[in-house]
Amino acid sequence: MRPDSLSSLQPKGLNRILGIDPGSRLTGYGVIETSPRGVRYVASGCIRMHTDDFPARLKQIFDGVSEIIQLYRPDQMAIEQVFMHKNADSALKLGQARGAAICATLNQQVPVFEYAARQVKQALVGRGSAEKQQVAHMVKVLLAVQGDIQIDASDALAIGLCHSHYQQTAERLRQAMS
């Protein structure tokens, strides 16, 4: 079966979310599915940049995210917002990496949602100041993943889970208001 036919087989109420943890050397991704019955792990991994040429790395991010979208057919993409680095050059590179991922996503008509790191931590751990390892642990627990997950992929899954949480909360509020 071709990957592009998978989305037509998704039952009603099923929502596939792609989480992206952007980086200029390593970009994590995670794919989850949400349904009325809960959330399910689909896939995760990292896009590794194999060059020192920065524009070429941005193209690798764009191409990698495009390929992931074609393979997994997400309904939505969630990405972490840029936070201020002490190093301005690092912040600019991170912003450009985010831009490449966002452009690849919008190029395939997938809506993009952005979350601050504190929002992601709050949604998963209950504290916006949670440590990275606490977030990674909750990702494994919530998705019932056995074995190790690369930290960048875990962060991407966390962003996807955060988006799922905010979507469910918004839906409950809509239902309560109607």
Catalytic residues: 21, 80, 152
DSSP state at residue 141: H
Residue 94 near residue 23 (C-beta atoms within 8 A): yes
Burial class (CB in 10 A: 0-12, 13-18, 19+), 1: exposed
Residue 80 near residue 115 (C-beta atoms within 8 A): yes
Rounded CA-CA distance 17/44 in Å is 12
DSSP state at residue 7: G
Of 48, 46, 12, 14, whose CA–CA distance to 32 is shortest? 14
